[in-house]
C-alpha cells in the first residue's frame, strides 16, 4: 500500500469512510495543515514543523492536546509509516475543528489527521531542466495574518494551479493586494541578484514556510547575503536566478519567466548543501 492514515491516533487504510457532511473542514475550510518529508524513517525539520503547527493553532484559536508536541507527532508518523513498512514519504498533518454550530463553533474539539504517502527517493530531487514560471493575477492574497498560514481554505492555489495547467506553465507567481509577489502555487520564492539572495518578508503575506527558514539559514551559513524585502515583477525580470522552496520538494530552479532565461548556479549549490543535512535534522 502506498498511502496510509492516522486519525486521532488510530491507523486507517484509507478505504473506509471517516468524515460526514457535517465536518467543519468540509463546510467552512476550518482547518490547517503541515506538509513534511520523511527520509529513512526520519521526519526532516520536525521541530520547525511543530513550531509552525503551534503558531497556526494559536492564531486560529485551536486548543491542541497538552501532550501533542514534536515527540508525539513524530511517534504517530513513524508508527503509521511502519505499519506499511514505509521509509520515505510525503507526510501531511491536518488539524481540523470538529464542532456543531454554523460559522461559530459551539466547542473547540479537534481532529488530527496524518496522511502518509510513500515516495521512492529519500533525497530532494533537484530539477535538471529549469521550470517555466508564469503569473496568476485573477486573485490576490489578502492582507491578513491567515495568509501566512497553510489553511484548508486554499482556493487561490487551486485556481492558480488550473491556470498554470491551461497555459502550460510548471508553476505560477501569486501576487498580494499591493501587486507585489508573495509566492508561487505551493512554494516560497527567492531571487538571486549578484551577491544578494532576496525573498519576500512575511509582511508580504507569503506562507511562513519551513523550507524558507531552512534555506535562509543555510545560505547565510555558507556566506550568502539574504535580504527579506518586497519583490516586484521588475525584481524578477532583472534577477540572475529565481528558485522555489518547499518542505517536500526542497529547492527547484526556474528556467524562464516571461521570455527571460535564468541561471541556476546558486540554487544548485544550495540544493547540494541541503541534501546531506537530511540525516541530521
Sorted by where each starts, the structural domains of the chain and their CATH numbers stand as 3-118 (3.30.470.10), 131-279 (3.20.10.10)
Percent of the chain past pLDDT 70, that is, above it, reads 96
Average pLDDT, rounded, for the chain: 93
Kindly state the average pLDDT of the residues 116-143. Answer: 94
pLDDT at 1: 58
> What angle separates helix 210-221 from helix 46-59, to the nearest 10 degrees?
130
> How do residues 25-48 score in pLDDT, each as one tens digit?
889 999 999 999 999 999 999 999
Q: Which three cell numbers stand for residue 281?
A: 535534522
Q: Map residue 68 onto helix, strand or coil.
A: coil
44 secondary structure, DSSP code: T
For range 237-244, the mean pLDDT: 97
CB 244 within 8 A of CB 184: yes
For residue 268, pLDDT over 50 is answered with: yes
Does 281 score more than 60 pLDDT?
Answer: no
Q: What is the mean pLDDT of residues 123-135?
A: 95
269 has which bridge partners? none
* Extended strands (E) in 64-195: 89-98, 109-118, 131-141, 171-176, 181-184, 188-193
Answer yes or no: is pLDDT of 280 > 70: no
Instruction: State the distance between the two ends of the chain, measured CA to CA, in whole angstroms.
Output: 27
Confidence (pTM): 0.93
Amino acid at each position: 500500500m502506498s498511502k496510509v492514515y492516522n486519525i486521532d491516533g488510530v491507523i486507517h487504510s484509507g478505504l473506509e469512510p471517516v468524515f460526514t457532511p457535517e465536518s467543519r473542514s468540509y463546510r467552512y475550510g476550518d482547518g490547517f495543515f503541515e506538509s513534511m518529508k520523511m527520509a529513512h524513517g526520519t521526519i526532516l525539520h520536525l521541530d520547525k514543523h511543530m513550531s509552525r503547527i503551534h503558531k497556526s493553532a494559536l492564531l486560529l484559536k485551536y486548543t491542541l492536546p497538552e501532550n501533542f508536541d514534536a515527540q508525539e507527532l513524530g511517534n504517530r508518523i513513524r508508527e503509521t509509516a511502519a505499519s506499511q513498512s514505509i521509509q520515505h514519504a510525503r507526510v501531511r498533518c491536518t488539524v481540523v475543528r470538529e464542532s456543531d454550530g454554523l460559522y461559530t463553533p459551539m466547542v473547540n474539539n479537534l481532529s488530527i489527521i496524518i496522511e502518509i504517502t510513500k515516495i521512492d527517493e529519500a533525497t530532494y530531487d533537484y530539477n535538471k531542466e529549469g521550470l517555466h514560471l508564469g503569473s496568476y493575477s485573477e486573485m490576490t492574497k489578502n492582507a491578513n495574518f491567515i495568509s501566512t498560514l497553510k489553511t484548508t481554505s486554499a482556493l487561490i492555489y487551486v485556481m492558480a494551479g488550473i491556470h498554470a495547467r491551461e497555459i502550460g506553465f510548471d508553476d505560477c507567481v501569486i501576487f498580494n493586494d499591493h501587486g507585489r509577489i508573495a509566492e508561487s502555487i505551493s512554494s516560497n520564492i527567492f531571487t538571486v541578484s549578484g551577491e544578494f539572495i532576496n525573498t519576500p518578508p512575511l509582511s508580504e503575506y507569503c506562507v511562513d514556510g519551513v523550507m524558507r527558514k531552512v534555506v535562509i539559514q543555510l545560505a547565510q551559513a555558507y556566506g550568502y547575503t539574504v535580504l527579506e524585502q518586497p519583490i516586484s515583477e521588475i525584481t524578477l525580470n532583472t534577477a540572475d536566478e529565481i528558485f522555489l522552496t518547499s518542505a517536500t520538494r526542497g529547492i527547484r530552479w526556474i528556467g524562464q519567466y516571461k521570455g527571460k532565461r535564468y541561471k541556476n548556479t546558486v540554487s544548485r549549490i544550495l540544493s547540494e548543501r541541503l541534501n546531506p543535512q537530511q540525516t541530521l535534522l
